[in-house]
Structure 1
Amino acid sequence: MMLIVKFGLFEFLNIETALSAFNFSVLILATVLIAAGGNVINDLYDVEIDIINKPKKVIIGKFISEKAANVYYIFLTFLGVIAGFYVANSVGKPGLAAIFIGVAGLLYMYASQLKSKLLLGNIIISFLVALSLLIVILFDIFPAIILAPSESQLHGTQIILHYALFAFYINFIREIVKDLQDINGDRKGNRNTLAIAIGRKRTITAVFILGIVAIAGILVYMYLYLYTSQVVVLYFLFALVAPLLFFVIKAWSAEHHNDYTFLSLLLKIIMLLGVISIYFQKFLLTNYA
């Protein structure tokens, strides 16, 4: 996603940016390392629950020890923060390094405490997914602004904000679906997820409604921003609206674990197709190139 934005959207718009290709690669590396550390610490706190929810995918305790996992967590997070410091200093904004420290801390708090709070954990993870796009603005566009942002910088920022909102919303739905998948282990772990708080049936109804809202939002976005390009409109209709329509149809009748697993996979595919759609923005950007 970050690569498509940098070497697709930004280059086509000819946006003045701050990061070289190498430094942008370090930004991606920092993001991946922090996220990897977050996955490790999350697995550490979820060992007993994962034995119930996904016994075949448990790594800690089977393939590596908890002690080794802690070492991996510290190592990955430390390298991620160091890489973040390097990128922040390379653009002359050392204070931006605090973002990576904050994200690492938030991932730790999520794994140890916040994921047990009703909807709070879902919101945090969805925000961090969106943040992986927003940091491109903070590190690549913001430091390159001299006196005032150029038209291309403003337009590029607007597009990224739209996609960050899309990433947040679709991932938020998927987090709720994952809670449906993991309800048995979460219940044993005394977690207060939406599926536990209001039950499976009401939760899947909420997922259905959120899916309908997503479809409506994309249709409104198409009407407001994409109507000038038939290619982009067709892509959004067939690659995003149609799969989301299929998603809500399947969600309406979902009752079993396999149904929730399929819905989660479908949302992953929709997110991927949404990322790819950034490439098609070039058909709308002739006036800005």
Structure 2
Amino acid sequence: MKTSTKSHFWIKVFSFFTVIRGYNIAVLILAQYLTSSYILAPDKDLLDIIFDPQLFLLVLATACSCAAGYIINNFYDAEKDKINRPKKYLMEHLISQQSQLVLYFLINGITLIAAGFVSFNAILFFTIYIFSIWIYSTSLKRLFWISNLFATLLVIVPFFAVTLYFKNFEIIIFHHATFLFLVILTRDMIKDLENYKGDWVKQYRTFPVVFGYRLSKILISLSVVLTFLPIYWLINSSLGLMSYYFYFTIPLLLILLILLWQGSSQKRYLWLHNLLKAHILFGVLGIYFIYK
């Protein structure tokens, strides 16, 4: 009986980490600390940054607000996910929707408490951010002309919290942000192709549902081509060994375009989506090699 209870507990824990996208949150935390240490404040000692209580609270607030965002997004996407990802849906809904709502408000409460220890401006920043995620989850994600752009902005915005904290507004920061924005936008549009069936059934007005696969692929191709601009800027900056990451990105994006136009299966789109996801992770790890 005890073994059964323990198994049930760990399954619930795994379900919770699936709902809040634990992998994404871990990458976000790592990215914020690496960005702080090697891009925003390279002159500061690494230990000073790691043990900076104000920065810790900002990162905590960011992680919690994003986790809560995944919960509310998951809550409103339940019926669509039942069609697109039935196995994932079953795992995530081992935690009832009522419990998910309770966790949503609890985690957002932790966000605002952590922000409150930093400053009033931090409270204001995260209040607007939380509200923006809620607006996106309830209505904006159904509008093809804004959903992808808004979703991508919601991923990028947390990095502005630490940027404002260190007051570093060098042009190289915006080159990195532009690159990340376009890669995430491309990934998000590929995800819409992957989720076409559920979006069509549940009447989500995503770009593929409204305009079809061909025009969606043209738009994705345009996003990829635009990504070469920040890559060019970054390659011509002093980024040490991380420059090789951007050199490698060029053939990777070209291969992605070829594979995108060659196939139209859900598995193909899932593979391309995960390819970009892995590439973003390598980019985060690559921050360590700036100036080396």
TM-score range, shorter chain: 0.7 to 0.9
**Aligned residue among 137, 146, 170 for 1:111:** 137
Query: Is 2:287 the partner of 1:274?
Result: no
Give TM-score scaled by structure 1 length: 0.82
The 8 Å contact of residues 116 and 193 in structure 1, kept in 2 or not, is answered as yes
CA distance 1:213–1:62, shift in 2 (3 Å): closer
Q: Which residue in the other structure is 1:147 paired with?
A: none
Q: Deviations for 1:173-221, whole angstroms, at most 9, x for unmatched residues?
A: 1111111111111112211111111101221232123223323541343
CA distance 1:163–1:217, shift in 2 (3 Å): closer
Q: Which residue in the other structure is 1:210 paired with?
A: 223
Deviation for aligned residue 1:272: 1.8
Give the distance between the partners of 1:192 and 1:86, measured in 2 at CA: 40
Paired residue total: 260
CA distance 1:131–1:110, shift in 2 (3 Å): same
Deviation for aligned residue 1:30: 0.7
Give the distance between the partners of 1:187 and 1:4, measured in 2 at CA: 40
Give the distance between the partners of 2:51 and 2:244, measured in 1 at CA: 34
Q: Which residue in the other structure is 1:26 paired with?
A: 57
The 8 Å contact of residues 145 and 207 in structure 2, kept in 1 or not, is answered as yes
Query: Is 2:177 the partner of 1:164?
Result: yes
Query: Is 2:87 the partner of 1:56?
Result: yes
Query: Is 2:32 the partner of 1:2?
Result: yes
Give the distance between the partners of 1:10 and 1:113, measured in 2 at CA: 35
Deviation for aligned residue 1:59: 4.9
Structure 1: unaligned runs, 5 residues or longer: 89-93, 143-152, 284-289
Deviation for aligned residue 1:161: 2.1
Structure 2: unaligned runs, 5 residues or longer: 1-30
Identical amino acids, percent of aligned pairs: 25
Q: Deviations for 1:13-58, whole angstroms, at most 9, x for unmatched residues?
A: 349x999622212211111111111111111111111100111111
Q: Which residue in the other structure is 2:163 paired with?
A: 137
The 8 Å contact of residues 134 and 161 in structure 1, kept in 2 or not, is answered as no
**Aligned residue among 12, 15, 34 for 2:42:** 12
What pairs up with 1:41-52 in 2 under 5 angstroms?
Answer: 41-52=72-83
Give TM-score scaled by structure 2 length: 0.81
Q: Deviations for 1:139-178, whole angstroms, at most 9, x for unmatched residues?
A: x223xxxxxxxxxx45xx4332222222211111111111
Give the distance between the partners of 1:45 and 1:8, measured in 2 at CA: 38
Query: Is 2:284 the partner of 1:249?
Result: no
Give the distance between the partners of 2:68 and 2:116, measured in 1 at CA: 17
The 8 Å contact of residues 69 and 133 in structure 2, kept in 1 or not, is answered as yes
Mean CA deviation greater in 66-75 or 269-278 = 269-278
Q: Deviations for 1:81-126, whole angstroms, at most 9, x for unmatched residues?
A: 21112122xxxxx223211001110111111111001131211121
What pairs up with 1:169-184 in 2 under 5 angstroms?
Answer: 169-184=182-197
The 8 Å contact of residues 242 and 290 in structure 2, kept in 1 or not, is answered as yes
Query: Is 2:273 the partner of 1:264?
Result: yes
Q: Which residue in the other structure is 1:150 paired with?
A: none
Helix, strand or coil for the counterpart of 1:199? helix
**What is the CA RMSD across the aligned residues, in angstroms?**
2.4
Give the distance between the partners of 1:7 and 1:216, measured in 2 at CA: 25
